[in-house]
Structure 1
Amino acid sequence: MDAKHTPHMADHVLTLLTAGDPLADAVVAELDHYGPRAQRALDAGLRRGLPSLGQQPPAAVAALLKQLEATPSWMDPLMLHRGDVVSLSVPPMWFGLCSITSALAHSYASPATARLLAQAGSPADMAAHRLAETGVWARQTIRPGGLLRGRPGYLATVEVRLAHARMRATSLTDWDSGARGLLVGQLDMARTWLGFTLIASQALEAVGIDITPEEERSLYRYWSYVAHLLGLDESLHQDVVDHAGARRLRDLLDATTPAPDENSTALTAAMIDAQAHAMAGAPGAVLSEEQLRHLIDSVLRRAFGEEWTDRLGIPGVPAATDLMALISQLNRQAQYWQTYSPASSREARRALKGPAPELKSAVLPCDASCRRNAGAARPGAWAA
């Protein structure tokens, strides 16, 4: 997204305020009209491809499958077999704590999305479910081969796309076609996409996990294909090849998005509580729920900046427990030595395939009971 195209892009973004996803919207209408027959065709087509449906598949299902199976001209076929190598290099605990929480918070910052989600149930009741669901989808999406036709990441991504279409269909009767735009439309989907690229990277950078310019470009190439599967308008992502382009897109979206409201703050707070609770209860955990909540708050404040985190109701972290500078330094030192030589890089990759690393009690203050638990605990995976 070249800077000289920004004025034109700003006008184009405004035209997308009321844009949905015609292919997915038509499939939802077709499923409602034809019922099980269309659902069976959709399921079979997603797993085995459009040719497996024979001569006369349901029209909307066929059109969606044709778009999904079209290979974008810019895509490297080997990329899907490798997976999102940049995200895969992040230790699982930090991927969950930084990438997932920041991406969800970025989505919740849209009051239209937050209002729609809040109507589905109380934030506290749905927070853990949405957190786990998003974590599973993200991990399926980044795995080697995960986005190949019929594989878990491919199926889950299309499921997310159709869920967005279902939400649009069920909310249209309540939609005021005024300034707020279409619920869960193109611009909200673009916010979600930026959450797992730019915003997640900013959160990881806050804890000292940096990527090179080459890795940055690799990240956006991979997630451009995710955008293709999600039905995101190509004009929104095709020229976003690095963080600089992503920031320009984010600024354009922010200019068309009202400030977070009470639904945004409630959903964000519930999500942070659910993440802290899950991680504190995971095998091998050495931090209390309160300490983890402070850590997540600190990460999000650095990822979003003070103005936006204040709007989202994310509190400041007490100075006594804010050791982000130390955490960043330790992670950067670890990253340096892991990539110091080919041998150390191989060893680091082997380590990433095993259990997720603990966050040692020395990193953040820990009371006596926490230290006793740490000594008795065995290492294990952190929940997302």
Structure 2
Amino acid sequence: MTALHPTPTPTTAERATGLHAGDPLADAVVAELDLLGAPAQRALDVGLRGGLASLHEPAPEAVAALLRQLESTPPGVDPLMAHRGDVVSLSVPPLWFGLCSITGTLAHTYASPAVAGRLVRAGSPAVMAPRRLAGAGVWARQTMRPGGLLRGAPGYLGTVQLRLLHARIRLTAFEREGGAAEGGASAWNTFARRRPPTGQDDPARTWLGLTLVSFRALAAVGIEIDPDEEHSLYRYWSYVAHLLGLDETLYGNVLDHADAERLRALLDARTAAPDDNSRALTTAMVDAQARAMAGAPGAVLSEEHLRYLIHSVLRQSFGDETADLLGVPVPAATHLMPLIGKLNRQSRYWQTFSPASSGEARRRALDGPGPELIAAVLPVGTATGHRSREGERSGAPAA
């Protein structure tokens, strides 16, 4: 395997600059969709599914530029990787992936008061929590599946949708500050010059959520990966970062958890402490996940026990200080977590003992999103591909 990026490791200052960079390609596409309407929308949809070469007429300038960037292959990426999928994440049993990875990722997102404030303004935390759990779980599974990141596949489309949603959020924040009062193309020119300070914080937080944060949470229940698996994980997610539009200085030399921790520290240094909105969203998310998993077919744990497990995982993976700020209570003293960790370590040993056992673990993960995600998806119809209001405005295809 070729090294991911044989380039010098970016300095902290270079990565800080990358966080400020924003995503000019996605910003320009959202501008073009607003200005040109249906023709640009059709060109984007067709191009994302069939590629730039599949368009019968020249695409609008910004749409064409985005498609060219998406269709380029970052240096060092194995062309067969997308066909195999994220073999490391797919080795995790679906129940633990939902309980640890998805809840940890969302809690990491909600820890940003800027993100939490936007989400609370969009709807009641208790009402929206199942929908957000379902959306995060479905996108993650689609992204990880073999072939999921191939052009036109659900993971590819969902990742670009998320990228354009972040661009729409940047514009909305700019408009809220009165920056687009003049309207039209002039407003977008002003936006390009005065890009909001959030830059790439939101997509970087999402990316870290399903890599570093996810596996820190899994480690809390005894599901750990070795150095080779870490490298494989970050090689795969470097391509996800490319599709998300992350600046290469942020992810290009992130090869393992230690590298990712440095990026996370830089991101956290730019982020205010969790606030009341963060706590409301985290509480609603934990309640929704425990309720969905307890009510899933074949569930063996009560909602109370599942809530305890999620609280324990969050406290161990985030640390007491951040967990306190997120409003995660201290579970009652028990020996349940050490026992779960021991059983999972034994189980993972046999799952990864041979290529055959590893393949069987991945096959089971691919059989479906897991009962806890199905239970979360069905009430809100996320699995049918309905777009959110912001997703519709972004012009991206439904995940």
TM over 0.5: yes
TM-score using structure 2 length? 0.83
Aligned twin of 2:394: none
Aligned twin of 1:258: 272
Deviation per residue, 1:101-151 (Å, 9 max, x gap): 101111111111111111111111111111101111000000000000011
Deviation per residue, 1:13-45 (Å, 9 max, x gap): 443554321111111111111111110110000
* Contact 2:173–2:196 (8 Å) recurs in 1: no
How many angstroms apart in 1 are the aligned matches of 2:130 and 2:375? Answer: 14
* Contact 1:175–1:182 (8 Å) recurs in 2: no
Aligned twin of 1:182: 196
For these two proteins, the number of residue pairs brought into alignment is 357
* Contact 1:17–1:182 (8 Å) recurs in 2: no
Aligned twin of 1:23: 25
Structure 1 segment 101-120 matched on structure 2, within 5 A: 101-120=103-122
* Contact 2:293–2:371 (8 Å) recurs in 1: no
- Displacement of 1:78: 0.7
1:236 aligns with 2:238: no
- Change in CA separation of 1:183 and 1:157 when aligned onto 2, cut-off 3 Å: farther
How many angstroms apart in 1 are the aligned matches of 2:254 and 2:199? Answer: 19
How many angstroms apart in 2 are the aligned matches of 1:185 and 1:305? Answer: 27
* Contact 2:92–2:361 (8 Å) recurs in 1: no
Deviation per residue, 1:328-348 (Å, 9 max, x gap): 000011112233345544554
1:324 aligns with 2:337: yes
- Displacement of 1:9: 3.1
Range 258-267 or range 50-59, more displaced: 50-59
Among candidates 158, 161, 164, match of residue 156 of structure 1: 158
Structure 1 segment 117-156 matched on structure 2, within 5 A: 117-156=119-158
- Secondary structure of 1:85 counterpart: coil
How many angstroms apart in 1 are the aligned matches of 2:46 and 2:367? Answer: 35
1:200 aligns with 2:214: yes
Aligned twin of 1:40: 42
- Change in CA separation of 1:183 and 1:297 when aligned onto 2, cut-off 3 Å: farther
Q: Which amino acid aligns with 2:105?
A: A
Aligned twin of 1:220: 234
Aligned twin of 1:283: 297
How many angstroms apart in 1 are the aligned matches of 2:156 and 2:356? Answer: 34
* Contact 1:203–1:300 (8 Å) recurs in 2: yes
Q: Which amino acid aligns with 1:290?
A: E
How many angstroms apart in 2 are the aligned matches of 1:228 and 1:272? Answer: 31
Q: Which amino acid aligns with 1:121?
A: G
Structure 1 segment 167-178 matched on structure 2, within 5 A: 167-175=169-177
- Displacement of 1:257: 1.1
- Change in CA separation of 1:203 and 1:231 when aligned onto 2, cut-off 3 Å: same
Aligned twin of 1:314: 328
* Contact 2:235–2:255 (8 Å) recurs in 1: yes
- Secondary structure of 2:253 counterpart: coil
Instruction: Give the root-mean-square deviation of aligned CA atoms.
Output: 2.5
Deviation per residue, 1:331-377 (Å, 9 max, x gap): 01111223334554455455545578999xxxxxxxxxxxxxxxxxx
Aligned twin of 1:336: 349
How many angstroms apart in 2 are the aligned matches of 1:111 and 1:356? Answer: 30
What is the percent sequence identity of the aligned residues? 65
How many angstroms apart in 1 are the aligned matches of 2:219 and 2:102? Answer: 14
Q: Which amino acid aligns with 1:336?
A: Y
How many angstroms apart in 1 are the aligned matches of 2:347 and 2:250? Answer: 36
* Contact 2:208–2:260 (8 Å) recurs in 1: yes
Which runs of 5 or more structure 1 residues have no equivalent in the other structure?
360-379
How many angstroms apart in 2 are the aligned matches of 1:347 and 1:84? Answer: 15
- Change in CA separation of 1:19 and 1:351 when aligned onto 2, cut-off 3 Å: closer
- Change in CA separation of 1:357 and 1:69 when aligned onto 2, cut-off 3 Å: closer
1:246 aligns with 2:295: no
1:74 aligns with 2:88: no
- Secondary structure of 2:156 counterpart: helix
How many angstroms apart in 1 are the aligned matches of 2:158 and 2:367? Answer: 24
- Secondary structure of 1:129 counterpart: helix
Range 37-46 or range 256-265, more displaced: 256-265
TM-score using structure 1 length? 0.87
- Secondary structure of 2:80 counterpart: helix
How many angstroms apart in 2 are the aligned matches of 1:323 and 1:183? Answer: 44
Q: Which amino acid aligns with 1:199?
A: V
* Contact 2:231–2:255 (8 Å) recurs in 1: yes
Which runs of 5 or more structure 2 residues have no equivalent in the other structure?
180-194, 378-399
- Change in CA separation of 1:42 and 1:347 when aligned onto 2, cut-off 3 Å: closer
* Contact 1:286–1:358 (8 Å) recurs in 2: no
- Change in CA separation of 1:256 and 1:9 when aligned onto 2, cut-off 3 Å: farther
- Change in CA separation of 1:346 and 1:103 when aligned onto 2, cut-off 3 Å: closer
Structure 1 segment 44-63 matched on structure 2, within 5 A: 44-63=46-65
Q: Higher RCO, 1 or 2 (CA under 8 Å, sep at least 6)?
A: 2
* Contact 1:167–1:184 (8 Å) recurs in 2: no
How many angstroms apart in 1 are the aligned matches of 2:221 and 2:275? Answer: 28
- Secondary structure of 2:88 counterpart: helix
How many angstroms apart in 1 are the aligned matches of 2:20 and 2:359? Answer: 48
Q: Which amino acid aligns with 2:167?
A: A
Q: Which amino acid aligns with 2:333?
A: A
Q: Which amino acid aligns with 1:338?
A: Q
- Displacement of 1:167: 1.5
How many angstroms apart in 1 are the aligned matches of 2:362 and 2:211? Answer: 22
Aligned twin of 1:91: 93
Range 349-358 or range 110-119, more displaced: 349-358
How many angstroms apart in 2 are the aligned matches of 1:168 and 1:350? Answer: 39
